[in-house]
Amino acid sequence: MKAMLCAFAVALVIAFAAPSVLNEFGWSAAERGSSATSVRLN
Amino acid sequence: MNFKAVTAAFLLVASLFNTSWANEAAPVVDRSSTGGAQTLQDIMARQAQLDVDERFRSENIGDPSRAKAITDQLGTNGGTSDSEVYRAIRYNEIEPTLQQRGPAAAVLIQDAGMPWYKLREGPMITYGGGALLGIIGLLILFYFVRGRIMIDGGPAGTTIERFKAIERFGHWLLAGSFIALGVTGLLVLMGRKFLIPVIGPEAFATLAAGSKFIHNNIAWAFMIGLVMTFFMWVAHNIPNKLDIKWLLAGGGIFTKSHPSAKKFNAGQKIIFWTVMIMGFSVSLSGLSLLFPFELPMFAKTFALINSVAGTDLPTVLLPHEEMQYANIWHSIVAFVMMLAIIAHIYIGSVGMEGAFDAMGNGQVDLEWARQHHDLWVAEVEAKQGKGGSS
Amino acid sequence: MALEGQARAKFLCDAERCIECNACVTACKNEHEVPWGINRRRVVTIEDGKPGERSISVACMHCSDAPCMAVCPVDCFYQTEDGIVLHSKDLCIGCGYCFYACPFGAPQFPQAGNFGSRGKMDKCTFCAGGPEEDNSTVEFAKYGRNRIAEGKLPICAEMCSTKALLAGDGNEVADIYRQRIINRGFGSGAWGWGTAYEKKA
């Protein structure tokens, strides 16, 4: 039972951490400002 | 147990391997009366959802070298006639240039969108949903006919360790993710049809937005769980002759016999490989959907199938078509997996006394183990005799 | 408060006149303050640099029976009485299916990819705004300018340097184009061009 609850918790942690991790690799939903390779005027 | 699911998937897949979504061919038409243009017969064939051979239009896109030269008396400005240009646009036989960039910006017209939509709204929901209801009905029927599979002579009262904590963790990571993915996936597919009339568009939009977030992000947990369980259990799931005997005895499910099995019986091995192969496929198509236009896989897959099976599947696909195929395949595989897993959940909970403990706390009743996995118990006891672990 | 009478809103781009100046693209982006990387309208050139070069400006075609409207899982599209196809960004979940269904690639999404949570779908509105109150600040922020409510026509067509792009009541647009075809009678716009001038192999 403990293993099951632990696994469910880990699944949720992975789910909520995934967007931030992907952000680091460039696959992101976030608003992006100017960077070395692209310029934005907002 | 899974054969019904496999057959259903095969039939759906077979109808998929036809770019016109498996319509029958229209009768051949004589177009001399219209000088090569589409005739009333063609339109009637289209209205009847028959497959019209488009080449009389798609190949009629002109050839600039055939035009009278600019310098000729009554010469042209070159190129092709307007109708030929537009036919080329219609069938995407153009080589465009443009200032705007984007993965699909160069496509002026793609006509695969409506067939894709119709497939989703029609057969996908009807047959997919119907199959889910069907398997649930079948299991209810099975329960009333066969009843719960009890431990002959009652439980022993002593237990033996079947799954270590890490094994259970891996299983539940996979299982919990799968349920969340399945439910959220069904919400997005069927919600508009069944839920909006009930809860209204605003509430459903919130639910759908949440479902999309959960689906896209729990997918990672699913993939991690899949890899974990594969490496933990693949050695125990290699098929062997014992499995044939087990299958011939029907697993003892109706004969009330107890064919021998090791850690995993043939039924479980079928589930394992179904989940692994289909889980891998659903993950790949899911990744393609998650990163649109960045992971096109169908053109290459079709080329591979053509070289192996000698078929004539399209090997050049528009970006939109790749995404549409990914979406449809993802749904089909997901439905087949859901059918298998519903049966798996049944037998692992309600269907069999003593089964849930294996994943619940890892300790199973010894008598249950002797009746269903006798050779595994023997192996464990032999190792324990030598002082090892399972 | 839109087009007159029984009008249905339509675009027509006269490929014979389009010079690929992209004024329509720029006007649209400017008027609606369209976010970076999104282009509600685009110009596609065929046979660039060769005889028979054509350019076409394409955005949303405002289909009578729009596939985008049909496929949307949250049913966020609607059609005005003029036939303009609009959608609600409040209901949109950014799944991208409208893009897969659209024959013309009209729906656009922020970022290079299609996916929302990366943002809501954005597309040509025929300069008719969205479900918010006409000409309100909120409507402008979400959907851009509402020129139709002011009795004007889409800015892309207004801005077109050669009047290649026409927008408005489908009947009137078709009429203008018909006049042009009749008046032309030359080049590849001529009727029977293919039969008269093409050497059969």
- Residues of C whose CB is below 8 A from B212: 93-95, 116-117
- Residues of B whose CB is below 8 A from C92: 205
**C117, C120, C121: which to substitute to probe chain A, counting the most A Cβ within 10 Å?**
C117
Answer whether residue C152 is part of any domain. Answer: yes
The set of long-range contacts for B236-241, using a CB threshold of 8 Å and a minimum separation of 24, is B236/B262, B236/B263, B236/B264, B237/B264, B237/B268, B237/B269, B237/B272, B237/B273, B239/B266, B239/B269
- The CATH number that applies at residue C109 is 3.30.70.20
* Min Cα separation A30/chain C (Å): 7
User: Over pLDDT 70: what percentage of chain B?
Assistant: 91
Looking at residue B27, its pLDDT comes to 83
Looking at residue C186, its pLDDT comes to 59
Tell me what the mean pLDDT of segment B158-170 comes to. Answer: 95
Closest Cα in chain B to C189: B82
Closest Cα in chain A to C118: A29
Q: What's the total number of domains in chain C? A: 1
For residue B195, give both structure tokens: 């839920």
**Beta-bridge mates of residue C167:** C11
User: For residue B94, what pLDDT band results from cuts at 50, 70 and 90?
Assistant: confident
B33 burial type by CB count under 10 A (0-12 exposed, 13-18 middle, 19+ buried): exposed
Note the pLDDT tens digit of each residue in C72-102.
999 999 999 889 999 999 898 888 899 999 9
Looking at residue C172, its pLDDT comes to 93
Q: Three-class SS of residue C11?
A: strand
Note the pLDDT tens digit of each residue in B289-339.
988 888 999 999 999 999 999 989 999 999 999 999 999 999 999 999 999
User: Who wins on pLDDT, C201 or B232?
Assistant: B232
For residue C189, give both structure tokens: 């716009």
Residue C180 pLDDT greater than 70, yes or no? yes
Q: Which of B172, B218, B224 sits opposite A3 (nearest CB)?
A: B172
Tell me what the mean pLDDT of segment B256-268 comes to. Answer: 92
- Residues of B whose CB is below 8 A from C46: 85, 88-89, 94-96
Answer whether residue C89 is part of any domain. Answer: yes
Closest Cα in chain A to C120: A29
- Residues of A whose CB is below 8 A from C36: 40-42
| Count of alpha carbons within 13 angstroms of residue B328, beta-carbon side | 31
Please check whether residue B172 touches C, CB under 8 A.
no
- Residues of C whose CB is below 8 A from A19: 117
For residue B325, give both structure tokens: 């195929």
Secondary structure E strands in chain B: 96-98, 159-161, 363-365
**B169, B212, B227, B229: which to substitute to probe chain A, counting the most A Cβ within 10 Å?**
B169
Answer whether residue C4 is part of any domain. Answer: no
First to last CA, chain A: 51
First to last CA, chain B: 29
Closest Cα in chain A to C117: A29
Answer whether residue C3 is part of any domain. Answer: no
Q: What is the predicted ipTM?
A: 0.79
User: Who wins on pLDDT, B331 or B257?
Assistant: B331
pTM assigned to the model: 0.85
CB contact under 8 A, A28 and C111: yes
Note the pLDDT tens digit of each residue in A1-42.
889 999 999 999 999 998 888 878 776 655 555 555 555 544
Answer whether residue C201 is part of any domain. Answer: no
User: For residue B133, what pLDDT band results from cuts at 50, 70 and 90?
Assistant: very high
Residue B142 pLDDT greater than 80, yes or no? yes
Residue B387 pLDDT greater than 70, yes or no? no
Q: How many CB pairs under 8 A join A and C?
A: 13
Within 10 angstroms of residue C179's Cβ, the number of other Cβ atoms is 10
DSSP 8-state symbol, B195: T
b/e sequence B294-315, b meaning 16+ C-beta within 10 Å: ebbbbbeebeeeeeeeeeebee
Looking at residue A34, its pLDDT comes to 52
Minimum mean pLDDT range among B113-122, C85-94, C113-122: C113-122
User: For residue C124, what pLDDT band results from cuts at 50, 70 and 90?
Assistant: very high
Tell me what the mean pLDDT of segment B239-259 comes to. Answer: 89
User: For residue C146, what pLDDT band results from cuts at 50, 70 and 90?
Assistant: very high
Please check whether residue C115 touches A, CB under 8 A.
yes
- Residues of C whose CB is below 8 A from B320: 99-100, 105
Please check whether residue B99 touches C, CB under 8 A.
yes
Identify whether the C-beta of residue C165 lies closer than 8 Å to the C-beta of residue C57: yes
Answer whether residue C1 is part of any domain. Answer: no
* Min Cα separation C76/chain A (Å): 21
* Min Cα separation C114/chain A (Å): 10
Q: Which of A19, A28, A40 sits opposite C36 (nearest CB)?
A: A40
DSSP 8-state symbol, B150: P
B356 burial type by CB count under 10 A (0-12 exposed, 13-18 middle, 19+ buried): middle
User: Over pLDDT 90: what percentage of chain B?
Assistant: 62
* Alpha-carbon distances of B326 from B65, B120, B316, B320, C176, rounded to whole Å: 40, 12, 15, 10, 43
Residue B4 pLDDT greater than 70, yes or no? no
Secondary structure E strands in B197-273: none
β-pairing verdict for B96-98 and C42-46 = antiparallel
Looking at residue B140, its pLDDT comes to 96
Looking at residue A31, its pLDDT comes to 53
Note the pLDDT tens digit of each residue in B20-38.
445 688 888 888 877 777 8
* Min Cα separation B135/chain C (Å): 26
Closest Cα in chain C to B189: C73
* Min Cα separation A7/chain B (Å): 5
Looking at residue B74, its pLDDT comes to 66
**B173, B212, B222: which to substitute to probe chain A, counting the most A Cβ within 10 Å?**
B173
Note the pLDDT tens digit of each residue in C26-77.
999 999 998 777 889 999 998 888 877 889 999 999 998 899 999 999 999 9
* Min Cα separation C104/chain A (Å): 25
Answer whether residue C82 is part of any domain. Answer: yes
Looking at residue B362, its pLDDT comes to 93
Please check whether residue C117 touches A, CB under 8 A.
yes
Average pLDDT of chain B?
Answer: 88
- Expressed as residue numbers, the domain containing C41 is 9-196
H/E run at residue B282:
helix B266-290
Distance (Å, whole) CA C194 – CA B218? 58
For residue B284, give both structure tokens: 């790949």
- Domains in chain B, start-ordered, CATH in brackets? 113-385 (1.20.950.20)
* Min Cα separation A2/chain C (Å): 33
User: For residue B186, what pLDDT band results from cuts at 50, 70 and 90?
Assistant: very high
Answer whether residue C91 is part of any domain. Answer: yes
Identify whether the C-beta of residue B367 lies closer than 8 Å to the C-beta of residue B381: no
Residue C16 pLDDT greater than 70, yes or no? yes
Phi-psi sector, B79: left (phi>0), alpha (psi -120 to 50), beta: left
First to last CA, chain C: 55
**Beta-bridge mates of residue B160:** B364
